[in-house]
Structure 1
Amino acid sequence: MSTAGDQQTPADLDAWVDQVAAVLGLEPSEVPVGEILDLTRRVAHGIARPAGPVTAFMLGLAVGRGTASGTTTELADGLGALAER
């Protein structure tokens, strides 16, 4: 992993996802990194920067609890579209 001030790489993100997945009891392959990054970008630009990670967290809660209908991809795309309106 890179240290503060170093240039981060996609490999650093992959390593981080692997580490966090292990702590949380998840399979890294279950983490849709690209979709989450796209969602947070769309929300951060469409609403406000802090809304990006907050929305991603809320999506994770809803998916984990089974309170939202649709796939993670469908939900993330819908939330991104909502932010862009």
Structure 2
Amino acid sequence: MSEDPRRAPGADLHVWTAALAEALGVDPAVVDVAEVLDVAGDVAHQVARPAAPLSLFVAGIAVGAAGGDEAAVADVLARVRAAAASWAADDTGSPTP
């Protein structure tokens, strides 16, 4: 078993996020870990668990296309959250962005 604290249960997500952001050339200041996890949780519960990582991947592409700043992040995450809520409330199977 590894003694590496990065692999311990409950490893610091903020440290991982900052390291990943740096490796990918993303400003870690625009990544609100709690908000991203909350949105992923909403998608997982209102759509399906496998939809959470897929949704956040698509959201990341949308944020990048919108300029990648904090306003774009907030807007896209709000739209993902709204789409998940409408998916859960609407039995037609279509998200309403």
TM category (shorter chain) comes to 0.7 to 0.9
Corresponding residue for 1:41? 41
Equivalenced residue count is 79
Give the TM-score normalised by structure 1.
Answer: 0.77
Could you say which structure has the larger radius of gyration? 2
- Give the unaligned 5+ runs of structure 2: 87-97
- Secondary structure at the counterpart of residue 71 of structure 1: helix
Work out the CA distance in 1 between the residues paired with 2:24 and 2:6: 22
> What does residue range 68-83 of structure 1 map to in structure 2 within 5 Å?
71-83=72-84
Contact 1:35 1:73 in 2 (8 A): no
Q: Which has the higher contact order (CA 8 A, sep 6+)?
A: 1
Q: Deviations over 1:41-82 (max 9, x none)?
A: 000000100101111110110110229xx7321321222122
Runs of 4+ residues over 2 Å off in structure 1? none
Alignment RMSD, CA only? 2.0
**Percent identical residues:** 34
Q: Verify: 1:63 aligned to 2:63, yes or no.
A: yes
Taking the aligned partners of 1:25 and 1:45, their CA distance within structure 2 comes to 31
Runs of 5+ unmatched residues, structure 1: none
